[in-house]
Chains A and B, each alone.
Chain A
């Protein structure tokens, strides 16, 4: 009987047994971005039984050169569930589980526990170290891929190499760099084909781990330079300095401050803010992060002013609010403030108000004119 998997079942050394193993395996892709999108397409097409997608981000127009599961009609939609809908339509035999949230210390163990193989396609060091440490403690094979400009790197951690040795991202890089050493989440330029190439290599490693077909990159880090068309394969050794930095228990992992950055702040415009304010006035705080001398003031009850520079130390003043709506003069500082508060209060709803107080004046004028 012909099936969609016929051509891989017919591959020498793969066969029905490997296909059955894929069907019984589950894989979680963290980061539905430049690496995650192409990896997801091929993991699903290969026949993994269960595919998870985790990303707290929403689709932006600048994603579309490399995040090829999305179209312009998806702008503003959550990446994980949007990609999951498309994939379940193309691959009805596999089941898809979408997590529209970022991986953090609180959710990393419950989410990762549900899958056999983890693919890390995230975009910042802190998340990468958190995932590495969680995979070590949970005994999950980790396919690691990352890019920088026109270069990429890929490896397999926490999975035995040919000699039975198991390596860890911290063997290569014991500590995450601080943000002033290597900045995270820069809007770096990238040709879509680079994460595309790396993402497909990550999918290949996951298929090999699940089926035992061929040889994986365990114990090695492969570097690819797109501009030079060159490869470099590094043999990783055990690094005691790095291993000492690992948390020893899940409790230790969950209570460690990984200093997770770059949570894309959610945004709202003033019309939405005013509607929310009228519907549920008690649970919201409106936070002005401009300096004390900046004008005009917002004449609204429950508007608190904490200048951005004092926000970290005075954040406890916001502890009782469910939802925090932040504004500044034009919308820049409020985004930064939202990122800071998201790290301090991961469970609160935090929004940066688009366009700041400048946009407020315009919105009020329009609403007035409409009456």
Chain B
């Protein structure tokens, strides 16, 4: 891997998926290319996993509920949190 590849790799953002989203994405974790905000992140995820866009979910940055304009970087831990209903 050359330096440029390593740089790109280091800018990737790790995203954890919970519940029905992990099922739809067929993975409980994925990496997405660098973005600046939560709304950009959401757009990117829905491009890569179109079936996710049908499901309502919240996004957490570093284990705190985030808003559309919350900044994100490769250092942050991102989670996609759909609601659960089973009892």
Contact = CB atoms under 8 A, between A and B. Distances in A.
Contacts of B4: none
Contacts of A36: 87
A147 B63 contact: no
A347 B86 CA distance: 26
Given A172-B65, A234-B60, A182 B87 contact: no
Interface residues of B, number: 22
B60 A182 contact: no
Interface residues of A, number: 44
A239 B58 CA distance: 11
Nearest to A195: B87
B3 interface: no
Contacts of A95: none
Contact of A177 (B28, B56, B65): B56
A247 to B, nearest CB: 19
B55 interface: yes
Interface in B43-74: 54-56, 58, 60, 63-65
A184 B85 CA distance: 7
Contacts of B79: 232, 234
B contact patch SS: mixed
A148 interface: yes
Interface in A148-198: 148-149, 151-153, 171-173, 175-177, 180-182, 184, 188, 190, 195
Contacts of B56: 173, 175, 177, 181-182
A128 B87 CA distance: 10
Contacts of A180: 54
Interface in B17-34: 18-20, 23, 28
A236 interface: yes
B84 A146 contact: yes
Nearest to A125: B85
Contacts of B54: 180-181
Given A146-B85, A148-B85, A173-B83, A235 B58 contact: no
Contacts of A234: 60, 63-65, 79, 81
Chain A to chain B: the 9 pairs with minimum beta-carbon distance, closest first: A146-B84, A148-B84, A123-B87, A147-B86, A148-B19, A121-B87, A173-B83, A235-B64, A31-B87
24 contacts: A31-B87, A120-B87, A121-B87, A123-B87, A124-B85, A125-B83, A125-B85, A146-B84, A146-B85, A146-B87, A148-B85, A172-B65, A173-B56, A173-B58, A181-B56, A182-B20, A223-B18, A223-B81, A234-B60, A234-B63, A234-B64, A235-B64, A236-B65, A239-B65
Given A146-B87, A149-B23, 19 more contacts: A33-B87, A123-B86, A123-B87, A125-B83, A128-B85, A145-B87, A147-B86, A148-B86, A149-B19, A151-B18, A152-B84, A177-B55, A182-B56, A182-B82, A182-B83, A195-B86, A223-B18, A234-B65, A234-B81
Interface of B: 16, 18-20, 23, 28, 54-56, 58, 60, 63-65, 79, 81-87
